[in-house]
Each structure stands twice: as C-alpha cells, then as structure tokens.
Amino acid sequence: MTKTVLTIDDSRTMREMLSMALVQAGYRVIQAVDGVEGLEILKSEGADVVITDINMPRLDGFGVIEGVRANPDHRATPILVLTTESDVAKKERARQAGATGWIVKPFNPVKLVDAVRRVAA
C-alpha cells in the first residue's frame, strides 16, 4: 500500500524538494503551507507520516506536533520535524512535544527517505 506523507512547510522550495525526493521513493505526498492547513488536511485526508517545519506562520511546528498528538486518530502517526543542526534546543523541544524524529536541513534526499522509512511502518 502506498504510504502518504504530509509535508508542512511554508517554503515552496522546501516543499518541492521534499515532494520530489519522496515521490521518487514511491510515497504519495500531500503538501500544506502552514500548521493550520496541515492539521486540517491531516483531519480530512489523513496521512501515514507527517513532516513539519518549525518556523511557520499561523501555527508553528510545535503547534503542529501538539495538534497531531491531541487527535486520537493520530496519536501514533509518526512526525518528523525539519530542523537545522544549530538548533539543538528546538529539536529537544519538538521531541518533548511528541515528535518521532527529525530531519536536519539541508537534507539530502537519501537521508530524507531514510528518516521517513525509519518511522513509517
């Protein structure tokens, strides 16, 4: 069964990079442009994995993690956060909030797919 990955990022460049790598690896990709839209899409369409950026308008990545975990249907949905190496504090905060794993930007496509596979059943 094709796995669906929901990518939430306000940067179109980042969304396209994620999408290209994941689609090539055989995943179905749904994109959302900020946290609010991300949670809406998750609710209406569902997803097997969520990848979210931290810095976003309307609702940031921490909000996304909390929102996903608060939804009984998605308490067990893996969430990967996009972080930068310099931001250890943010990574830890995301982890505490319930993030499953992280992807360090700038990522290379192989690493990205690796991370997704590591959390997606």
Binding site for other proteins (CB under 8 A): 1-3, 10-14, 16-17, 19-31, 33, 41, 48, 55-57, 75-79, 84-86, 95, 98-102, 104-106, 108-110, 113, 117-121
Tell me the closest approach of the beta carbon of residue 73 to other proteins, in angstroms: 11
Tell me the closest approach of the beta carbon of residue 51 to other proteins, in angstroms: 13
Judged by beta carbon, residue 43 or residue 76, the one nearer other proteins is: 76
Tell me the closest approach of the beta carbon of residue 112 to other proteins, in angstroms: 8
Backbone angles phi, psi at 3, to 5 degrees: -85, 145
- The sign one gets for the Cα dihedral 50, 53, 54, 58 is negative
Judged by beta carbon, residue 27 or residue 62, the one nearer other proteins is: 27
Q: Which residues pair with 51 in a beta bridge?
A: 7, 80
Tell me the closest approach of the beta carbon of residue 82 to other proteins, in angstroms: 9
Dist CA 18 CA 21 (whole Å): 5
Judged by beta carbon, residue 21 or residue 51, the one nearer other proteins is: 21
Run of H or E residues at 80? strand 79-84
For residue 106, is the peptide bond before it cis, meaning its omega torsion is within 30 degrees of 0? Answer: yes
Total number of residues shown for the chain: 121
